[in-house]
Amino acid sequence: MENFLTIAQIVVLVLLSGVAIYAIIVLMRLRDLFETVDTNLKQVANKAIPTLENLEAITRKIRVIVDNFDEQIVMLNSSVETLKSVADNIAAFERRVQDAIESPIMEVMNTVGGVIRGFTSFFNRAIGGRSSRTEED
């Protein structure tokens, strides 16, 4: 039995040695994997930092552009309001001019028409001796 215990101890020691060697191999592979991950992360960080800086610069420029665009919209809105006001003033001026001119012109036209009708009646009576009312009947 002593031999059996000795053989069992040797087998257990050999198995433990195998497990230890396997653990060492696994840990070495894990170390290589972590080194690869570390290298990749450093490369990503080296490439990401300039990209993020460029993104920050682009964001600043976009903010300036948007601010300028907002200012231009305000100016455009002001210009449109001014243009609307000018158009309203022109329309009011046109109405005032039309009211001021139309009435006297109509009076002159009526007067000229009356004078022409008077001359026509006069000449018709003078030439033909008849009135214009007789001709109409």
- pLDDT for 87-135, tens place per residue? 999 999 888 888 888 888 888 888 988 999 988 888 888 887 554 454 5
Q: Where are the domains of the chain?
A: 2-136
- Residue 76 tokens read as 């455009």
Q: What are phi and psi of 84, to 5 degrees?
A: -65, -40
What's the rounded Cα separation, in Å, for the pair 56 and 51? Answer: 9
Q: What is the pLDDT of residue 119?
A: 85
- pLDDT for 24-76, tens place per residue? 999 999 999 999 999 999 999 888 888 889 999 999 999 999 999 988 998 88
What's the whole-model pTM score? Answer: 0.43
Cα 63 to chain centroid distance, Å, stands at 14
- Residue 99 tokens read as 């009211």
Residue 133 contacts residue 124 (beta carbons within 8 Å): no
